[in-house]
Amino acid sequence: MLKIDKENSSEVGIVGRTGAGKSSLISALFRLATVEGGIRIDEIDTKDLDLEDLRSKISIIPQDPVLFSGTLRYNLDPFEEYSDEVLYRAIEDVELKDPANIINRLENRVMDRGSNYSVGQRQLICLARAIVRNNKILMLDEATANVDPQTDALIQKTIRKKFANCTVLTVAHRLNTIMDSDKVLVMDSGTMVEFDHPHILLQNQNSMFYKMVMESGKSMSEQLKRIARESYLRQISVPE
């Protein structure tokens, strides 16, 4: 039974080796596959929700950004629900900058699969789309695996700012993207094997998460431990 409380903000990192079941978890959340058991959001079982309603309330930024032929406006707001002001504010939030105003205007043409944008720019447009939707649940499916470190940092900063009051579920490719999460969900063979703050998990040298961090090398593992420790200290110092 997976429970999600979208009224209380939290960041959950989801990690595991290849084949651990991370992608299956996403499929289950969006009901792309038959679910044995239950997924509850605010105590409502997702199987009791209309499929379109369920999927429209969860934003996802995938590893391979999805753009459609049409205009930038269409990609941000396909059902024409939002004003130009809202759309341009989202473009500014993700810093889709262009001095010539060629790629960041709402009427700009988007080629098939966004071929006239770089991978990083396509990912920023997907992020802007999620900001426009303003859903309380955001799923990141290894969203920064294929972008450069600068774009990765921008995406992480924007998510922390714009989705501070949301539940953010992050399937991690790079461990540094989830080391300051509120909790880490470690999966193995389709099963949750560990679930706690990353700093707490790192106190157990026999834990799977500890072994994954150590495999990143001495220098990187020390950096990851430091990030987790600082995050944990900030968390426990916040008054109830």
Is the pLDDT at 177 greater than 90? The verdict is no
CA distances from 93 to 14, 99, 127, 169 (A): 26, 16, 9, 20
pLDDT at 240: 47
Confidence of residue 11 (pLDDT cuts 50, 70, 90): very high
Mean pLDDT estimate for the chain: 90
Enter the pTM of the model: 0.89
Task: Given CATH 3.40.50.300, say whether it is the number of domain 2-237.
Answer: yes
| Span 89-137, pLDDT tens digits | 999 999 987 776 677 899 999 998 899 898 999 999 999 999 999 999 9
pLDDT at 153: 87
Beta strands in 27-145 (DSSP E): 39-41, 44-45, 58-61, 70-71, 109-110, 137-141
Alpha carbons 221 and 26: distance in angstroms, whole number: 28
Confidence of residue 9 (pLDDT cuts 50, 70, 90): low
CA distances from 4 to 8, 14, 44, 58, 148 (A): 9, 14, 9, 12, 31
Alpha carbons 132 and 129: distance in angstroms, whole number: 5
One-letter amino acid for residue 31 of the chain: R
Confidence of residue 43 (pLDDT cuts 50, 70, 90): confident
Is the pLDDT at 158 greater than 50? The verdict is yes
Alpha carbons 48 and 201: distance in angstroms, whole number: 35
E strand or H helix at 131? helix 119-133
